[in-house]
Amino acid sequence: MRKRVRPTEHSDGENVSSSFRMQKKTTVCQEKKGLASKFWFWVKSGAFALCAIFIMMPILEELPEIIRQRVYYHRIRAPFVFDLSHPAELELNHTINMYLEPEEGISLGIWHTVPDDKWKEAQGKDSAWYHRSLKDGSPVIIYLHGRTQTRAAKHRIGVVNVLSSIGCHVLSMDYRGFGDSTGKPTEEVLTKDAVWLHRWAKENSGGSRVLIWGHSLGSGVATNTAVRLMEQGVLVDAVILEGSFKNVQMYWPQNPFDRYSSKIKRLILRDEVANDVIFPNDENVKKMRSPLLFLHSEDDHLTTLRNAEQMYQAALSVQGDKRVRMVTFEGFLGYLHMGLYKDPRLPAIIKNFVVTTEEMS
């Protein structure tokens, strides 16, 4: 007969103790696995970070140039395949290409277009003839273009033809890093090169009047140049601002991508590129004492008419309406930011300004 043995108090205690030891052992194992898992997580994360840094180093080294490209768009060319040393291929058959060196190691690509009434005489002529022609007494206009592309862009050639048609010599310069000019663009060197070109034009034109035309970004270079020369005791004969902006911060954030990228520029590069790009037209026009003409389209989609009007009022309060003028073009004409050269009234407007400012000299 099988006897049933009742568990004693002692056996109950042993079972509880054994269960506790097993649970404790399991907990210790789990803690060890957790520590090991965390260890390998950080090892993997560290290895991934090192690899990422290794991969990103070349990109980080090029970051200033990448951001500079977002400021100036100087690597973009149009026409895409064109030899800038042959302007006649773009029907500028009264234009010669030249390379000038503002400093050692820097070469600037520049077109010299003679007045339209000299185009027949200009056929087949060499650089020496063009150089001598600068001294014929005709006004000389330095054309400072906007960001992106080169001096061969369609709208820029359009402006050059307008200026040539009213009897002016035109010097169209590609900034450093643009077109076939060497170097890298910054606000300081763009201004420095424009000052140098103005001095070169004065010295080589036999005392002719030298005006500056600045479009878009070029308006910032133009006003910087006028102020810099004034500080050196030189008064620019006249300045024309087409599609100008108050300062580069007002120019950048015109679309969502530029608004975002402008914050990144200032955040990442700070003094190196972003905060070093100002082009303070709004402050410069208050300092300038040169006759000033604003040209603006009502439908300009990049630089608002309101900004131009505010700058006009600021300049007007300093120099008066005899030396400061503004001409706006109706929005329904569809000129936007780069089409003012199409307006049939433009040649007469510019010629009148050039003539009247000569009387002020």
What is the 8-class DSSP label of residue 243? S
Q: What is the pLDDT of residue 42?
A: 75
Q: Find out whether 234 and 167 touch, Cβ atoms under 8 Å.
A: no
In percent, the amount of the chain with pLDDT more than 90 equals 65
Which entry of 216, 244, 262, 290 is annotated as an active-site residue? Answer: 216
Q: What is the pLDDT of residue 138?
A: 97
For strands 140-144 and 210-215, give the pairing.
parallel
216 has catalytic annotation? yes
| Exposed/middle/buried for residue 333 (C-beta within 10 Å: 0-12, 13-18, 19+) | middle
pLDDT tens digit sequence for 211-237: 999 999 999 999 999 999 999 999 999
Which entry of 112, 145, 198, 337 is annotated as an active-site residue? Answer: 337
Using pLDDT thresholds of 50, 70 and 90, give the confidence band for residue 51.
Answer: confident
Is residue 275 pLDDT above 70, yes or no? Answer: no
Residue 44: which H helix or E strand, with range?
helix 9-61
Residue predicted with more confidence, 92 or 38: 92
Q: Find out whether 276 and 186 touch, Cβ atoms under 8 Å.
A: yes
* The model's pTM: 0.79
Mean pLDDT of the region 39-63: 64
The Cα 283–Cα 315 span in angstroms is 9
159 backbone dihedrals φ, ψ, rounded to 5°: -65, -45
CA separation, residue 192 to residues 103, 104, 227 (Å)? 10, 14, 12
pLDDT tens digit sequence for 54-102: 565 554 444 455 555 556 776 666 666 689 999 999 989 999 999 999 9
300 has catalytic annotation? yes
Q: Where are the domains of the chain?
A: 68-360
| Exposed/middle/buried for residue 244 (C-beta within 10 Å: 0-12, 13-18, 19+) | buried
Which entry of 174, 193, 237, 300 is annotated as an active-site residue? Answer: 300
Is residue 31 pLDDT above 90, yes or no? Answer: no
337 has catalytic annotation? yes
Is residue 39 pLDDT above 90, yes or no? Answer: no
pLDDT tens digit sequence for 319-338: 999 999 999 999 999 999 99
Please provide the CATH number assigned to the domain covering 68-360.
Answer: 3.40.50.1820
86 backbone dihedrals φ, ψ, rounded to 5°: -125, 70
Using pLDDT thresholds of 50, 70 and 90, give the confidence band for residue 115.
Answer: very high
Is residue 291 pLDDT above 70, yes or no? Answer: yes
Residue predicted with more confidence, 250 or 107: 107
Query: Which residues on adjacent β-strands are paired with residue 100?
Result: 108
Is residue 250 pLDDT above 70, yes or no? Answer: no
